[in-house]
Structure 1
Amino acid sequence: MNKSKKYGWISVALLVLSVVFIVISLSTRTPADTESSAKKAERVLASRLDILQSFTDKALAADPAEWLDIGRLPSDMVIYRYVDERLQSWVNRFPISNDQLSSGMLFQSFLNPRSALRTPLGELKEDFSFSNIGSKWYLAKKVIQENVTLIVGLEIVNTLDTRSFSGINPRLRIPENHSIQELTNSGGSPVFVGGQPQFKILYNSLSSTPPVSMPYLWLALAFFLTAALFFLLAEPSAKNLIIELITVLAVLLAFYFSGAKVSVNSGLFSPLLYADGTVLYSLGALILLTLMLVMPIWSIFIARKDLRSFLDRYPLGVFRVLLLLAAAVALVAFSYVAIKSISLNSNINLELYKIKEITWVSVLVYLLLGVLFSCIPMIFTMLQPLTSRLFGFHQDSMSIPNRIGFALAVAIYFVSLTACLGFKKEQSGMEVWANRLAVSRDIGLEMQLRLVEEKIADDPVIASLSVLPNAGAAIRNRIADNYLARVAQEYDLIVSVDGQMDLSLLSGGEYISPGSRFVFKEGSDALVVYIAVFTYYVKNYGPYHIMLQVERKGDWRFRGYASILGETAPGEVLIPPTYAYARYQSRSLLSFRGNFAYPVHMDDELADAVYSKEDTHMKSGGFTHFIYVVAEDESVIVSRRTIAALYYAVSGIFIGLITFLAQTILRPRRRKSVFEKKYFTTRLNAVIMASLILALVSMAALSVYFVYDRHEENRRTLMTEKINSIASSISTRIRGARTTDDLRSNEVLRLIEDVGNNTNSDITLYTPNGMVFMSTAPMVFERNMMDSRMDGEAYRNIMLLTSRYYIQKESVAQNKFYSMYAPLVGEDGNIIAIICAPYTDDTYDFETNVVNHGISILSIFIFLLLFAILMTRRVLDGMFLPLLQIGRKMEDANLDSLEYIQYDKEDEISSLVNAYNRMVTDLSESSRQLAEAERDKAWSGMARQVAHEIKNPLTPMKLQIQRIMRLKDRGDSAWKEKFDEVSKMLLDHINILTETANEFSTFAKLYTEEPTEINIGELVQEELAMFSGHEDITFDYMGLDDAVVMAPKPQLARVFVNLINNAVQALDEFDGGRVMVSLRHSVKDGYYDIVFEDNGPGVLPENTDKLFTPNFTTKTGGSGLGLAISRSILQKCGASISYSKSFALGGACFTILYPKNK
């Protein structure tokens, strides 16, 4: 199968795939078809429940006295095992704070005394039911076997899951525009499990899900565009180019305008992902506009040869050059607009050195830009023949230097542009942070203080306590328990009574509102403080005063669960730990945060730099500082480490390498001969390249692994030291505690808060049964953001294996972190609690740095690898050049073109070169002798041929003359009658002798004439005009008028005359004869086809192989040398001639394949 047919079938197959994906995209989004979704969910649930049942069987078969070990249970399944109604083992966890089976074992949560006394697991039955357990809905049931009870559940809905609109378990494969509700809801379709309805699937009419599946539709578009390109590859003509472009642009425009009408949650068309006006209304629109630019250039590039042959007829060369250059400039301009728009109007990161912010969308944008820039080499490839013809400028756009230059230009362009735009975007973000940092007051807290202020002032218990000495702690507990319970989790409450109050703290404060007792102040350490003085009139004692300080706890935002979950208090600014900031009042440091040593007092130079302009930036101390003046005498400085030039260089190297490799892979290649494919240098290059790649990649991998392993080891050491320090600090301050109940007090809560502040950690205490009962971050448990029961594997290691500490990686809301566990041992040596603290002390993102390190090493190594390969190839080519020359010259060698090899070195190859040169000398001498012998033989044969050709007509001529002479001698009067007949016969034979002499004369003059530049079309028409006297024959010419070739004109004219004359002679006995000569571009690149056809009898099949053999002829007269000489002339011109049956006229058809003038 030829390429044309192959590409045609590929095009059809891709088009069929496109249609299939369109059908799939429509069938997967049937808005109100909840019935089919329910049936599908039943099948999926049956499969999932079978898996759960297999684990349930393992749990029932396990020894109830041992910890449950059933293998890796899927994360959406939970198994609890109870022995005698006591929870003994668990795999995964239910999000509830009470997992007992009966209410008799309940206790009120210390975290939330007002929690309901409910046992959701005890309400389950022995058949699956759709049950609400905490923040999730499960298909759950109870399995009882003797004294063992299993609670098993399969997660159906997670109400806290923000990854989807409905929170449905993604493993159930229910469409996003559907939701799951209880059976009591109207509408929808029920889902049956075990023959019983469990829940309903409803169509969510409020969801913004598009009516079609966009991923499948994009795949359909991709297959369609690829099919269009293969359609053009099958037959790259100007006609097919127009058809393809009209179709493609129509589809893209339809897709573009329909995309503006789809819903918000429609993938690439979502304006939430990216939007910039009505034209670039989404990332999908940008992709389609890019394809509208790319597809015409790709298509024109494919059909460039046929298009060039058409356009070459018109003198528009300079205009075409300018048009192509304008297209290249337009592509670069469009890329600039696209990069700028994406960088400034979306959260899509295009700065490759910020690895952590790279997403699949970033990769998609870079692929899109790569497709766009792939058009530029194509444009310069199409420019080559024009610049060569118009300006004499010859340049291969895909040569190695040009590929390197283009890759370098692309790398510099992308890195510099994305860096500048990224910095501009960062400045805008810094400005927002600065404005928010300038406002330090907590409005939510102030509202709470205003609500409880009068209640505290009227509290009789506090009034009574105020007269007692050292009553500050008791009053603080009263206020915390009754009025500011939530506030006490985020703020320290400090109470001072008469004689202990420092009224100077009130100076410089600002009342939060008129008539309020509370004064707002901001400490020098950036901590917010609210202070109030309450006066109580106590009977028999008089007035007494207390001072209440509500002070923000230090570093709570950057530690523990808040930093993991990204939680902040209302009005607070969560700044990544890679940034630092400082607030200055005039020149004095007001507050700061982070790892940069800001000056306490600005010097003149710094103050001038800060306050001379409103917004600016500067670099110092390895940091980049963004400076914002937020008031006349107040400024905010946000700082981060300056990005090293190495990261820019590595990004450029990476982009350059990808560009260079893409050009190398996609560039056209000449087909290598079998000899070249088996070159020794090719194999040696391959071995060296494979060895270098293996060595360099191994070094890079080992380097990254070593750095990562060393960091993990160091981090584990730090975590070990930290959990031991926390456990030791708590243990030393709870001496005398014997049971868990001894820890249920506010004093212990304040103790762990104090330890947490000192160690910069959140601390959680679990009971010996694994249930949380105290934490410095209770909100994350009350909101079910963290499970109230500790991890089962950690519990097993601490309680059953009695490990002194245990560290493991856990995840919450797709955030991974390390949790540290340690036992808290009571006075009698029993474990009375389990300590847990998340590790959040990493001062920098090590994983990102490891990735940066790995990419940097690999990029540099690949760059060095390419350099090494180029150098290796150059050295090997120099070493093996003589061998290559020997091989090529031996492959192309003939007795007329034996060449010597110049090699001046004395090494192992020189002996081979010398032997080859000696062989050439010997062969040259042998060929000279052979040529002389062949010439002698040829002249001998020529003489015999000439004698034969002359002798043949002379014999009958002699006999006829002798016959007339005998008749005359006898006086026979008949000799006069025979004289005219003999004279005619003699003249005919003389003509034959003349023609024979002319043929040999032509043969003798072969190869002596120099080729000249001639217009082959004009020559054919001139020769046809010579035969115009044959009125009974029609002569036609069709073809090109500007076909120029190099040829010896007299000899090529003789070839044409010979072929035309043969056709005329074949039509002598035919009426309505026709001879047609055609001149066209050959299917073989770089050649013309010259076709001679007639409607005569043609050549018999058995004679076709003898046509070009000397002395063979089918005519009654002639030497049989015409076609043989014609083929010899053409071969010397680099052309060829062949015979076939004419399909158009039915007679003979001779086709000459003649090379074009380069």
Structure 2
Amino acid sequence: MSIAGKIRFLLLILGACCIGTALSLKNTISKKDLLTHEAAELQDNLHQKENIVNEFLSDPQKIEQAKQFHLNERYGLDFINFYRNIGINLLTYENSELKFWSSFTAFPTGLDGIREGSTFLQLPNGWYEVIRKTKGNYSLVFLIEVKSQYGIQNQFLSNDISPYLLPSQSLSLASFTDTEVYGINKFDGTLLFEVKLKQGYTKSIYATIEVWLWTIGIFSFCLFFNSFCVWLAKRGNLMPATLLLALFFVTLRVTDLEYGWFNHQFNLLIFSPTIYGESFLLPSLGDFLLNVIVLTWLIYFVYKHRDQYRLPSWLVRNKLAGLLLYLVLLVVFGLMAFVIDQIFYGLIINSKINFDITNIINLGWISWISIVILCLVWFNIYLIIVILLEQTRVLNVTNKERLILFLAVFSCYLGYRLATGFNIFFIVYAFFIFIIGWNVYLRNSRFSIGVFTGIFFCLAFISSIKYLNFIDSKEKNKREAIAQKLESTDDPKIISSIESLEVGIYTDSFVADYFKQPALRRSDILQRHINKQFLGGYLSKFEYNLYEYNSLDSSINGQGVPLSYYKQLVQSGSVKASESNFFYRLNDTFGYQNYFGIIPIFQDNHILGTLVIELKSQQYNYNSQLPDILIDRRNKSEDDYSNYSFAFYNYGRLANQSGKYTYKLSGSEFRAEPKKAQIITDSIGYTHLVYMPIASKMIVVSKEKVSYVVRLATLSFFFLVFIIFSVALYSLIWVLKNIDESWGGWFNINRSLMINANKILYKTRIQFSIVLSVVATLLIVGWTTYFYIRDEYRRQQEDFIQEKIRKVQLSYEKSIFNSGLPKASDESIRDFNQFADVNAAYLNLFDVRGNLLYTSLPRIYDFGIIGRKMGAEAYIYLSQMQRSEYIDPNERIGEFKYSSAYAPIRNSMNETVAYIGLPYYANEADYQRKIGLYINTLINIYALVFVAIGILAVFLANQITSPLTFIQDSIRKTKLGQKNQPIQWSRHDEIGSLIKEYNKMIAALEESASKLARSEREIAWREMAKQVAHEIKNPLTPLKLGVQLLEKSWREQDPNFEKKFERFNKSFIEQIDSLASIASEFSNFAKMPDTKLEKLVLLPIIQQARDVFTNTQNVEIYIFNHATVEVVVLGDKDQLLRTFNNLLKNAIEAADPEARCVIKINLMNDEENVFVEVADNGKGIDPEQQDKIFVPNFTTKSSGTGLGLAFVKQAVENAGGTVSFKSFAEVGTTFYLSFPLS
């Protein structure tokens, strides 16, 4: 078995082993094994934390330092900086009073519920292992977070095991009803808690290994089938090989789509239909990618063997059939464009993938996979077009006829598009096909930077146009949905939330207890309770008011309007909310929603009072009124309305507006038919979607138009992406090709790199140097600028928050200067909230011990997300270190990072009475937005610069190397033995010096060539004389012997004399013919300069030479005419005929006598030359003899003059052509002849 066969066999074994291992792993590793593995990791990490705590508690010196944490700031800060970063927090108590805390994350209600040693406790925001040690009147309480438990969940807050203990987030705490659990023990071996495996968890290391095993296994099978099909193709079975590979890939994908044996094995986001789903063939983005990959593989296989496919001979000869086939190809190309257009329309419209390529840094890996799919699809289209066009080169159709037919089809379709709706996409697509056709038909598919630059530009232009069109279409649909949503009076999600609200209040025992004895309870406590328990989610965007009434319908706290007012609203036409018993909606609102609920409070069928809740939607500002950390993912809208402006017109007058756009008071500029959305563009760069639910009401949704700079950036982005993709794909194919062909590994690749590096043109080196220098400079400048801008943004944020906290500090000190710090009451809470609103900031006020007094954002404390203490470091800096202000840029809640500023509040006596905190929750989002905008702008600018630099580099390189190109052409025309014209150059520069030396050289060369020619002629004629003497002696010797024998027989009167005479006579004639043949050969060679040049059609001459050997036994001669024009050359007919006779005769003589001799003659052309290939399957030429093959009198046969191939070379050169050959032992020899077209 050959090496290639062994490798194919190993690939088959590798694929089977990988898939078998994956299946075995899936069936062997149970959930219990996963639970054991993950729980063991959790326990080990927990024991490490416990060990750190125990080492601290066992060190008397550290305990003494801990007692001083609230007095010695250095001790406290050192502890915070080390232990908090590894998930360990500390609380120190003196006489049961909290003195020091290392984090405001969580606080126990007191020491009474914490026993000595280790305890597993639930605190407001999660579960902790609490380790307490008491020494005297000091107690140290360590908190090790085990699992967070928040009332709100989002991208920052999640109810998971602490990442300090288990980064994989694969486990959750077990309940009493769970069966498959794993007990987590403390360091001493006693049970602390139990965990279970999360439902649907698939991200274990085993799952990752399984994915890779499947991938490697399937890839190995694909390589095996590909290698086998290549092996079949090399043995002449190309069509069966192609069909077999296609059948394999089709079976692979169809069975996977039908039965899901691969894509359903893993819970991967890329295979989720929630991201993208279109049809049976495209159920997910992952399947889309796999389909494109296998299609690319198959098409590339066909592309690599495109020269071996043959059209039927009747089709090649028939002009009408050729024209019809070419017309069909043009229609196929158009259908491909239509199919691609529809597929990518569905990919953008029917998906939730982020395609905002103007914001590159926010593109996720899903988005980049979609872009790779686009690149692969365009690559496939290019390959298909090249394959089909190259196959049609052999048709009996001229390039002029092809161009006329192409322009006719294009004109017809252009007229159709102008009549139905103009679209530049198909014009650029037609130009893309034209460039490929021009390169195939006129340039013989030669590589050219200019050609591929044009192709990339067309692809980038098409992609950017379709991208912008699809995005605009999707955005219009989105705006229509927004307008219809704004029209809707009752949002189903809001109604559902209202229903939950009224049921919760109606059955809540806390509310009933309040109404039993309202005098003993505060109204703000009731409001805080209802706000925390029931007014989250979708109701958070409503402003609310609560009014309590007793059983006699009188106001309990003396505030609010009479209950009869709301009852009158019910009677005057308010609409009852669907599926609600107590809530109504005011019917005269437009642009906002107003609900009120009249909820009776009962106990044992006895009415205790009535609670009225009024809900009024805030202005339509879709930038959230709350920090992101307080927005529950279950209630967060998937739509982003931050870039939109809204207006509500009632009877043509502006009723409400929101956003950056300034609307006119009158809506006369907006017109639309009822229930039909219409897009209007204004002169200041905005587009408006106008929607009229009824004739008197109108909703306008506005958005800024995409600027031309952004559109240009989109074009440059796609242009760069296609270039990078092409370079990466070419590199991959080149590496695989080198490995596949040489089987020599990286050594051969390195050697090939060195060889190819030496072949790089000077022009290319200049282009590369220019581009590399500019790119390197831009990257260095951009990188430096990025770090500067990043630090500058941070400084700006610090300056902003510092200025803000100083203003807030001075304002609040001024407000309490005379009255002092207010005591807690409903009025003081309202005053503090108003103070926060006036300053447009979230504010917290703490007492001198760090306890929370007031907050403008109570929900973050009510939900127990953080404890009611100020930041630990801030308290140390302000209380112990007596700083006048402190800015903490790295406060964190869960995964939410933000900056906070703190400052002391002093009274009229200049005594610190409180600390005010200003958490800047938006600072990280604001920083990311600004830095993202900078990076996107930089990338878009650099993309344009890269394109411009590439064009400039080509121009400059051509200008620099144009003298070298001129010299190269002159040197190419230099021929020995004839007069060569010197080069004229007027400049006295380096090029001028080079040309001067060149002119001297050709003058000396002519003289040397003349002497060398004379010497060579003398030597050649001496050698030829020897050869002639040798060849003549060979026949003369048997002639002399024959005459002597015949004379002897005559003297001796031999009775068989007549027979001998007849036999000798025949032999004499053969020897004389041999002498005549030798003389003729030398005579013809000597006559070579006597050449009669005339215009000749080459194909009939080749056919005439073939006819001479047609009846030769076991010989097959095929002529393949791939020429696109009638091939006419300038040459001597007799010499060309003898040339092809000699080549065919040599090929037949070199064939194996026991095998069939197959000779293939291929005829091709470009715009300047015709190329003839004569290939045989003979024994080949010995490598040691190949250098002498065209030398006169050299022969590899036992008899012969050695002038045949010398005559071929001279005859071809007389016609202005060249001849060369390649020969491989036991494979065959191919002669390559080229002639200039006449």
TM-score bin (small chain): 0.7 to 0.9
Structure 1 residues 903 and 684: alpha-carbon distance in aligned structure 2, compared to 1, 3 A threshold:
farther
| Candidates 982, 998, 1002, aligned match of 1:916 | 998
Give the match's secondary structure for 2:680: strand
* Contact 2:479 2:689 survives alignment (8 Å): yes
- Aligned partner of 2:342 in structure 1 is 337
**Which whole-Å deviations, capped at 9, do the CAs of 1:651-700 have from their partners, x for residues lacking one?**
12211222244345656999997795465555444432222112333444
Distance apart, 1:102 and its partner CA: 0.9
Aligned-residue CA RMSD (Å):
5.9
- Aligned partner of 1:167 in structure 2 is 160
Structure 2: give runs of 5+ residues left out of the alignment. Answer: 69-74, 400-436, 441-446, 548-554, 601-610, 735-751, 1130-1134, 1165-1170
Structure 1 residues 887 and 312: alpha-carbon distance in aligned structure 2, compared to 1, 3 A threshold:
farther
Q: What letter matches 2:92 in structure 1?
A: Y
Once residues 983 and 575 of structure 1 are traced to their aligned partners in structure 2, the CA distance between those partners, rounded to angstroms, is: 109
* Contact 1:1017 1:1042 survives alignment (8 Å): no
Once residues 523 and 468 of structure 2 are traced to their aligned partners in structure 1, the CA distance between those partners, rounded to angstroms, is: 53
- Aligned partner of 1:245 in structure 2 is 246
| Candidates 183, 187, 196, aligned match of 2:180 | 187
- Aligned partner of 1:302 in structure 2 is 304
**Which whole-Å deviations, capped at 9, do the CAs of 1:272-323 have from their partners, x for residues lacking one?**
2233455544333433444464443233223323334899997786676566
Give the match's secondary structure for 1:99: coil
Once residues 874 and 216 of structure 1 are traced to their aligned partners in structure 2, the CA distance between those partners, rounded to angstroms, is: 47
1:819 equivalent to 2:811? Answer no
- Aligned partner of 1:864 in structure 2 is 945
- Aligned partner of 2:223 in structure 1 is 227
- Aligned partner of 2:432 in structure 1 is none
Structure 1 residues 12 and 839: alpha-carbon distance in aligned structure 2, compared to 1, 3 A threshold:
farther
Distance apart, 1:250 and its partner CA: 1.3
Give the match's secondary structure for 2:1114: strand
Distance apart, 1:1123 and its partner CA: 7.0
* Contact 2:8 2:228 survives alignment (8 Å): no
Distance apart, 1:1078 and its partner CA: 2.5
| Candidates 459, 474, 483, aligned match of 1:410 | 459
* Contact 1:1075 1:1093 survives alignment (8 Å): no
- Greater Cα shift, 568-577 or 817-826: 568-577
Once residues 1161 and 131 of structure 2 are traced to their aligned partners in structure 1, the CA distance between those partners, rounded to angstroms, is: 80
1:926 equivalent to 2:969? Answer no
Once residues 1043 and 48 of structure 2 are traced to their aligned partners in structure 1, the CA distance between those partners, rounded to angstroms, is: 117
Once residues 264 and 977 of structure 1 are traced to their aligned partners in structure 2, the CA distance between those partners, rounded to angstroms, is: 99
Structure 1: give runs of 5+ residues left out of the alignment. Answer: 104-118, 466-473, 535-545, 1029-1034, 1065-1072, 1144-1149
| Candidates 602, 605, 608, aligned match of 2:666 | 602
Q: What letter matches 1:396 in structure 2?
A: N
1:366 equivalent to 2:371? Answer yes
Q: What letter matches 2:174 in structure 1?
A: Q
* Contact 1:166 1:176 survives alignment (8 Å): no
1:1037 equivalent to 2:1148? Answer no
Once residues 573 and 1031 of structure 2 are traced to their aligned partners in structure 1, the CA distance between those partners, rounded to angstroms, is: 133
| Candidates 275, 287, 290, aligned match of 2:289 | 287
Structure 1 residues 771 and 754: alpha-carbon distance in aligned structure 2, compared to 1, 3 A threshold:
same
Once residues 1102 and 951 of structure 2 are traced to their aligned partners in structure 1, the CA distance between those partners, rounded to angstroms, is: 48
- Aligned partner of 2:743 in structure 1 is none
Once residues 1043 and 1118 of structure 2 are traced to their aligned partners in structure 1, the CA distance between those partners, rounded to angstroms, is: 55
Structure 1 residues 977 and 223: alpha-carbon distance in aligned structure 2, compared to 1, 3 A threshold:
closer
Distance apart, 1:42 and its partner CA: 0.6
Distance apart, 1:151 and its partner CA: 0.9
* Contact 2:889 2:899 survives alignment (8 Å): yes
- Greater Cα shift, 847-856 or 492-501: 492-501
Give the match's secondary structure for 1:925: helix
- Aligned partner of 1:648 in structure 2 is 711
Give the match's secondary structure for 1:895: coil
* Contact 1:511 1:518 survives alignment (8 Å): no
Structure 1 residues 227 and 1005: alpha-carbon distance in aligned structure 2, compared to 1, 3 A threshold:
same
| Candidates 1168, 1171, 1175, aligned match of 1:1089 | 1175
Once residues 166 and 1090 of structure 2 are traced to their aligned partners in structure 1, the CA distance between those partners, rounded to angstroms, is: 83
Q: How does 1:1016-1035 map to 2 (within 5 A)?
A: 1022=1107, 1035=1113
Distance apart, 1:399 and its partner CA: 3.8
How many residue pairs match? The answer is: 1077
Distance apart, 1:755 and its partner CA: 1.1
Once residues 1049 and 310 of structure 2 are traced to their aligned partners in structure 1, the CA distance between those partners, rounded to angstroms, is: 76
Give the match's secondary structure for 1:69: helix
**Which whole-Å deviations, capped at 9, do the CAs of 1:229-249 have from their partners, x for residues lacking one?**
963796565243333222222
1:734 equivalent to 2:816? Answer yes
Give the match's secondary structure for 1:410: helix
Q: How does 1:951-990 map to 2 (within 5 A)?
A: 990=1072
**Which whole-Å deviations, capped at 9, do the CAs of 1:83-125 have from their partners, x for residues lacking one?**
546555555554x4x336513xxxxxxxxxxxxxxx4xx2573
Q: What letter matches 1:151 in structure 2?
A: F
| Candidates 113, 126, 133, aligned match of 1:136 | 126
* Contact 2:1118 2:1160 survives alignment (8 Å): yes
Q: How does 1:112-511 map to 2 (within 5 A)?
A: 119=113, 122-123=114-115, 125-126=117-118, 131-139=121-129, 141-142=131-132, 149-156=140-147, 158=149, 167-169=160-162, 179-182=172-175, 185-192=178-185, 194=187, 195-202=189-196, 216=212, 219-220=215-216, 223=219, 227=223, 231=227, 235=231, 238=238, 239-259=240-260, 262=264, 266-276=268-278, 280-291=282-293, 293-308=295-310, 321=326, 325=330, 328-353=333-358, 358-390=363-395, 391-393=397-399, 395-396=438-439, 399-438=448-487, 490-491=543-544
Give the match's secondary structure for 1:396: helix
1:747 equivalent to 2:747? Answer no
* Contact 1:353 1:648 survives alignment (8 Å): no
* Contact 1:18 1:219 survives alignment (8 Å): no
Once residues 253 and 890 of structure 1 are traced to their aligned partners in structure 2, the CA distance between those partners, rounded to angstroms, is: 60
Give the match's secondary structure for 2:711: helix
Structure 1 residues 1022 and 54: alpha-carbon distance in aligned structure 2, compared to 1, 3 A threshold:
farther
Give the match's secondary structure for 2:663: coil
Give the match's secondary structure for 2:1158: strand
* Contact 2:630 2:860 survives alignment (8 Å): no
- Greater Cα shift, 936-945 or 864-873: 936-945
* Contact 1:35 1:189 survives alignment (8 Å): no
* Contact 2:45 2:165 survives alignment (8 Å): no
Q: What letter matches 2:693 in structure 1?
A: V
**What is the TM-score normalised by the length of structure 1?**
0.76
Structure 1 residues 1110 and 822: alpha-carbon distance in aligned structure 2, compared to 1, 3 A threshold:
same
Q: What letter matches 2:117 in structure 1?
A: K
- Aligned partner of 1:543 in structure 2 is none
* Contact 1:582 1:593 survives alignment (8 Å): yes
**Which whole-Å deviations, capped at 9, do the CAs of 1:253-278 have from their partners, x for residues lacking one?**
12222349959965233232233455
1:784 equivalent to 2:864? Answer yes
- Aligned partner of 2:749 in structure 1 is none
Structure 1 residues 973 and 555: alpha-carbon distance in aligned structure 2, compared to 1, 3 A threshold:
closer
**What is the TM-score normalised by the length of structure 2?**
0.72
1:80 equivalent to 2:73? Answer no
- Aligned partner of 1:102 in structure 2 is 111
Q: What letter matches 1:153 in structure 2?
A: I
Distance apart, 1:846 and its partner CA: 6.5
**Which whole-Å deviations, capped at 9, do the CAs of 1:792-847 have from their partners, x for residues lacking one?**
34444433442414142545565544333333345665544433333367899674
Structure 1 residues 400 and 527: alpha-carbon distance in aligned structure 2, compared to 1, 3 A threshold:
same
Once residues 161 and 459 of structure 1 are traced to their aligned partners in structure 2, the CA distance between those partners, rounded to angstroms, is: 32
Q: What letter matches 1:634 in structure 2?
A: K
Higher relative contact order, structure no. (Cα contacts within 8 Å, ≥ 6 residues apart): 2
Q: What letter matches 1:1013 in structure 2?
A: L
| Candidates 954, 964, 970, aligned match of 1:873 | 954
Structure 1 residues 1013 and 698: alpha-carbon distance in aligned structure 2, compared to 1, 3 A threshold:
same
Q: What letter matches 2:223 in structure 1?
A: A
Structure 1 residues 751 and 1023: alpha-carbon distance in aligned structure 2, compared to 1, 3 A threshold:
same
Q: How does 1:461-610 map to 2 (within 5 A)?
A: 490-491=543-544, 512=574, 561-562=626-627, 565-566=630-631, 576-599=641-664, 601-602=665-666, 604-606=668-670, 609=671
Distance apart, 1:328 and its partner CA: 4.2
Structure 1 residues 877 and 58: alpha-carbon distance in aligned structure 2, compared to 1, 3 A threshold:
farther
